[in-house]
Amino acid sequence: MNYSAQQSDCVFCLLAKGTVRDEDEFCYAINDLYPVTEHHTLVIPKRHVPDFFDLHQWEITAIHTMLVTVKNKLEELDNSITGFNVGVNVGKDAGQSVFHSHVHLIPRRYEDTNKTTNNPLGGIRWAIPKR
């Protein structure tokens, strides 16, 4: 099996090596081009797979390991980070805009929610006003 199978018209498959922050055999991490918060990161499998649910278990394990690695590095880099949202959009109607599976790691900070209520209830759905 080719674990790095790529698609010629996929922006994640064509990604320039210089933009990769971390990588292993099965996945890599990059900064999100349209970040919700500072240091918003994408963890992407190297194999072109449009749907997260079609990933192999070893790819999911590698993605999880990369998420933990990046999380730890971000906490060392930025002591204002007090939490994270982890998310996957599967399908157009769920908000997926690049059809190469990827996982969002979104750093959160105290009071980055609605300043009036300072209530993160509902997670990312209500996390960032006007986003």
The residues annotated as belonging to the active site are 102
Q: Are 86 and 104 in contact (CB under 8 A)?
A: yes
Structure tokens at 8: 């010629």
At residue 62, the 3 state secondary structure works out as helix
What does each C-alpha distance from 103 to 13, 50, 60, 100 come to in angstroms? 15, 12, 10, 10
Q: In what order do the strands lie in the sheet with 20-23?
A: 20-23, 27-31, 41-45, 103-109, 81-87
